[in-house]
Amino acid sequence: MNSTIELAKELISRASVTPLDEGCQDLIAERLKKIGFNIEHMPFEEVKNLWATYGKEGPLFIFLGHTDVVPTGPIEDWKHDPFLPLEENGFLIGRGAADMKGSVAAFVTAIEDFISQNKEFNGRIGLMLTSDEEGPSVNGVKRVIKKLQSRQESIDWCLVGEPTANNQVGDVIKIGRRGSLGASIKIQGIQGHVAYPQKALNPIHESLGAINEISKLAWKDETGEFQDSVLQISNLNSGTGASNVIPGDLNFDLNVRFSPSTTEKEIKESVEKILSNHSLNYSVSWSLSGNPFLTKERTLIDAVKQSISEVTDIETETSTDGGTSDGRFIAPIGAEVVELGPVNESIHKVNECIRSEDLITLSEIYNQILVKLLAKD
């Protein structure tokens, strides 16, 4: 059996639903230790993090990934146990196969192959793993980076293994991501009997106009690299459950995915201006998940595109669409960040899967990236 597929199966068999790791990082650490990596475990609260490095000087290239997975959903909807990896019709099926235990396995085998073929090279290699990517992302990469910064450790290039491909490995890579800003808003009313509305203040009636206006907010991207910034209302709750009671409050959540053309301050001011203009008694709690980032330097992008072309003979498209990734914590420290992983069709779905052949291809591409950036001429 191919070593990448074998390792992917081992990782999938561990039910590491976020924030659990279930020994995935220990398994990988043991393999990397055998080939000379320095291993550092960085647990924060319930989250496991691994920082493994090889080499003592020169530019640092790292692979960034996560060992946690999303919940399976109804087990009965799966063809088989989601944590018993199965190869069927050319696909490896199991929770985390595409997001992103397949990529993590390919990281490891690419590193092993590169070091076996290059006893000396220009620079250093790192692997950063967390079990807090699918969760709140508070005690994972965010805190690891903070610790590395406190030690004046820097990163030059970062390859994130998130599933980026649309139809085949390498057809799309991410060179940036929009930021994510959320808000929880409470509109205060006065609870009362529906027969005596003059003695109450219905927060539903009072806030409908403002909510409609907020839902139409949008900000144009001026960079030419991103989709426009959009706002979506994701939750709305009010009422006591009784049809004869005017509720005392209304709560709703919103999220904005924003490009570098829009600022956090601008979004907050736009939303709160509408709430104030409608004379609402409101409170709001804002939460910034991450700022937008864009890799403009060409060194890593070119190495990735050339490696894909040499291994797959396809032309790669660069993109910044989709959700957030842990790359948002790496980019602000000055690293070039590119995301390259498997096809994203089945991620977070039941019967999540990856083409077995794609695991081998990914490992070859990752290895070739190391060659282009670090191998001696």
Tokens representing 283 are 């409170």
Distance CA 99, CA 312 (A): 21
Tell me, yes or no, if 153 is annotated catalytic: no
Which member of 21, 22, 68, 162 is catalytic?
Answer: 68
Q: Give the integer Cα–Cα distance in Å for 146 and 131.
A: 17
Q: For residue 26, give every residue at least 6 positions away whose Cβ sits within 8 Å of its Cβ, in sequence order, or none.
A: none
Spell out the alpha helix ranges (H) of 249-296.
264-277
Residue with tokens 């946690």: 68
At residue 122, the 3 state secondary structure works out as coil
Residues across the chain: 377
**Cβ atoms within 10 Å, residue 302:** 13
Of the candidates 84, 225, 167, 211, the residue with the CA atom closest to the CA atom of residue 342: 167
Q: Which residues, other chains included, contact 87 with Cβ-Cβ below 8 Å and sequence gap of 6+?
A: 5, 93, 356
Cα 355 → chain centroid: 21
Using alpha carbons, list the distances in angstroms from residue 145 to 158, 267, 348: 12, 27, 27
Q: How far apart, in whole angstroms, are the C-alpha atoms of residue 65 and residue 28?
A: 12
CB 217 within 8 A of CB 271: yes
Q: How far is Cα 131 from Cα 142, in angstroms, rounded to an integer?
A: 12
- Segments in the chain forming alpha helices (H): 3-12, 24-34, 102-117, 141-150, 203-215, 264-277, 299-312, 327-330, 356-374
Active-site annotation holder among 133, 162, 339, 364: 133
Instruction: Examine the residue annotation and report whether 302 is marked as an active-site residue of this protein.
Output: no
Site of tokens 């282009």: 372
Q: How many CB atoms lie within 10 A of CB 219?
A: 18
Half-sphere exposure of 213 (CA within 13 A, CB side): 14
Which of the residues are catalytic? 68, 133
